[in-house]
A = this chain, B = another copy of it.
Amino acid sequence: MAVDNRLGTSTLTFSKGPRITSRYTLVGPMEGKGPHALDFHEILSDDSLGQKTAEKTERLMLELAITKTLEQHGTRIKDVQFLIAGDLLNQITTSNLAASTHTAPFIGIYGACSTFAEALGLGAVLLQGGFANQVLIGTASHYQTAERQFRYPIELNVQHLSTNQVTVTGAAAAILSFAERGPRITHATFGSVVDMGLKDPHDMGSAMAPAAFQTIQQHLADTQRTLADYDIVITGDLGKQGSKMLRLLLEREGCSGLERLQDGGSQIFGDWQSVGSGGSGAACIAVMTLGYVLNCLESAKAKRVLVVATGALLSALTVLQGESIPCIAHAIALEQ
Contact = CB atoms under 8 A, between A and B. Distances in A.
B191 A106 contact: yes
A64 interface: no
Contact of A108 (B105, B111, B126, B178): B111
A96 interface: yes
A118 B108 contact: yes
Interface in A187-211: 189-195
A75 interface: no
Contact of A129 (B55, B130, B178): B130
A332 interface: no
A317 B1 contact: no
A326 B100 contact: yes
A186 to B, nearest CB: 14
Interface string A115-138: 000100010011011111100000
Interface stretch (A82-90, A168-176, A229-237): A82-90
A285 to B, nearest CB: 16
Interface in A35-92: 53, 55-56, 81-83, 86, 88-92
A166 interface: no
Interface stretch (A2-10, A151-159, A252-260, A272-280): A2-10
A80 B318 CA distance: 27
Contacts of A295: none
Contacts of A313: 91-93, 96-97, 100, 108
Given A131-B125, A133-B3, A178-B1, A106 B328 contact: yes
A110 interface: yes
Nearest to A218: B105
A105 B191 contact: yes
Contact of A90 (B53, B86, B105, B317): B317
B108 A110 contact: yes
Nearest to A1: B178
Contacts of A323: 93, 97
Interface of A: 1, 3-4, 7, 10, 12, 53, 55-56, 81-83, 86, 88-93, 96-97, 99-100, 102-112, 118, 122, 125-126, 128-133, 178, 189-195, 313-318, 321, 323, 326, 328
Sort A-B residue pairs by CB-CB distance and give the 7 closest, nearest first. Answer: A129-B129, A96-B313, A105-B190, A100-B326, A91-B315, A100-B195, A90-B90
26 contacts: A4-B133, A7-B132, A7-B133, A53-B321, A55-B321, A89-B317, A91-B110, A91-B315, A93-B317, A93-B318, A96-B314, A96-B326, A96-B328, A97-B318, A97-B326, A100-B195, A102-B193, A105-B191, A106-B190, A106-B193, A107-B118, A107-B122, A108-B110, A125-B125, A128-B129, A128-B131
